[in-house]
Amino acid sequence: MPPRPNPLIAQLAGELEPVRPLRMRHGLALVAVATMLTIAAIALWQGLWSGPANGQAAAIFFIANGLIALVGLAAARAVVRMAAPRVGARQDGLRWLLAALAILPVTALLLMALEGTVGRHDQATDGLNCFIAGTVSGIGVAAALILWLRRGAPVGPNVAGFYTGIAAGALGSFAHGMSCPFDTIGHLGIWHVAPVAMSAALGRIAVPALIRW
């Protein structure tokens, strides 16, 4: 006599629905679209700085913004991977990039200390505007990553929130940096890196509650 089917299992199986698999390229494409839309919005709102195209930008402009963008991309990639349940995933590459990014504010503060300009940092008002604008500009990337994480099942919501903040702050600062005409180490090393730290703290506090199972 064949075994009788378990009605509980049959009921649970009957409620299952197919789910589209999370593909990493789709998550990265979502971040890329959010970043490009942010740059487009900034270009329409206040325009992009023509200095890089005209050869007027200093080398530190490309170094700082390039490093900030790399940190943002690495953090976004880490967050996209976290949407799929996994344990023990290492982020050594991102940690080294963050260490390299920290060189910018350390160098800026060191040079200002040697020059005696710590107490009267030039363009402080413009720097504060860049800090605020760079932080706000990361909202689109943050929203994209939160939506992606909610589709998945991250096992470390606190870490995912922290890296979401890093990605949003870095890519937001990079997007706004395309419109900023100040290309000194003092300005870029402090005011364009500060949004990364601020967004990381905000992400660690606010994001976990939005992505928990």
pLDDT, one tens digit per residue, over 66-82 is 999 999 999 999 999 98
- Between 166 and 5, the more confident residue is 166
* Residue 11 domain flag: no
121-164 tens-digit pLDDT:
555 668 899 999 999 999 999 999 999 999 888 888 999 999 99
For 111, other C-beta atoms within 10 Å of its C-beta total: 15
Instruction: Look at the chain and report how many structural domains it folds into.
Output: 1
Q: How confident is the model at residue 201 (pLDDT cuts 50, 70, 90)?
A: very high
In a domain, 205, yes or no: yes
Q: Which domain holds residue 123?
A: 22-211
Q: For residue 62, tell me if it sits in a domain.
A: yes
Look at residue 9 and tell me if it is in a domain: no
Residue 12 domain-assigned (yes or no): no
Specify whether the CB–CB gap between 153 and 68 falls below 8 A.
Answer: no
Q: What is the pTM of this model?
A: 0.85
Contact 27, 167 (CB under 8 A): no
pLDDT at site 165? 97
- Phi, psi (deg, nearest 5) at residue 88: 85, 15
Residue 16 in any domain: the answer is no
On whether residue 198 sits in a domain, the answer given is yes
Structural domain contains residue 4: no
Q: How confident is the model at residue 23 (pLDDT cuts 50, 70, 90)?
A: confident
Check residue 83 and give its pLDDT.
85
Q: Is 200 exposed, middle or buried (0-12, 13-18, 19+ CB in 10 A)?
A: buried
